Amino acid sequence: MPAARGDTEDARLLALVAGGDRQAFESLYHRYFPRLTRFLNRSTRSLQLIEEVVNDTMLVVWNKAPSWDASCKVSTWIFAIAWRKAYKAIRGADEPVDAMPDLMEASADSQPERQFALLRQHQAVDAALDALPADQRAVVQLAYFHDMGYADIADVMGCPENTVKTRMFHARRRLAGLLADRQETR
C-alpha cells in the first residue's frame, strides 16, 4: 500500500476511533501492532514488556484520539506515544535483555554455510545497534526500519530536527566502526 494511501486510511480510522468506533480501533490496533513490536524489539527483547508498551500505547490512542490535531501523520503520533511509553518502561524495568535475535527464516534452497553467514551478519548488526545509546538507536530504527524522515523522527522523539541529524551522524559513525571491527576479526 503506498504511504499516502496508508496515511489517509490511518487518519480515517483515527477519526472513527475519536468517535468511539471500536471496530476502527481494532483495525488500527492490528495495523500498528506488528510495526510497534518491531520498533520496540530493538529497545528490549522482553516480549512481555513489548506487549505491555504496545497495549499502553494503544490505550492512549483510544483515549486521546479526539486530541490528534493532524499536525503530523498518525504514524508519527503513535510512534511518539510508543517511544515515550517504552522509555519510561525500560527505565523502570529490572529485567535482563535477551541478546539473541529472532530466528531468521531460511529459504529451502539456501546452503547451510550461507544461512550461517546470514545469521552471523544479522547478529553483528543487532549487536552493533544494541551498542548504540537509546536515542541514536531509535533514530536509526525509525529511519531505516520504519521509513520515517527526519522531521517525523523529530516529532516522535520530541526534539529538534537538527538533533535527529546529529544523532544519525554519530550513530552511523559508531555503527561503521563497530561493524568494521567485526569484519576485521573474521
List of residues 6+ apart from 69 with CB closer than 8 A: none
Q: Are residues 88 and 109 in the same domain?
A: no
Q: Are residues 143 and 89 in the same domain?
A: no
List of residues 6+ apart from 75 with CB closer than 8 A: 6, 7, 10, 32, 35, 146, 148, 152
Q: Which CATH number goes with the domain that contains 113?
A: 1.10.10.10
When comparing pLDDT for 113 and 162, which is higher?
Answer: 162
Return mean pLDDT, the chain.
81
DSSP single-letter state for residue 101 = P
DSSP single-letter state for residue 14 = H
Q: Are residues 114 and 92 in the same domain?
A: no
Residue 106, pLDDT score: 42
Residue 89, pLDDT score: 80
Residues in the chain: 186
Residue 92, pLDDT score: 62
pLDDT tens figures, 31-79: 999 999 988 887 777 788 889 999 999 999 999 999 988 888 899 999 9
Gap between the Cα atoms of 116 and 89, Å rounded: 34
Does residue 12 register a pLDDT over 80? yes
Q: Say what the pTM is.
A: 0.59
The domain of 54 spans 1-96
pLDDT tens figures, 89-112: 876 654 444 433 343 344 444 566
Q: Are residues 161 and 182 in the same domain?
A: yes
Q: Are residues 92 and 114 in the same domain?
A: no
Last residue of a domain, one of 62, 81, 96: 96
When comparing pLDDT for 179 and 36, which is higher?
Answer: 36
The string over 76-106, giving b where at least 16 C-beta atoms fall within 10 Å of a residue's C-beta and e elsewhere, is bbbbbbbbbbbbebbeeeeeeeeeeeeeeee
Q: Which CATH number goes with the domain that contains 5?
A: 1.10.1740.10
Q: Are residues 4 and 76 in the same domain?
A: yes
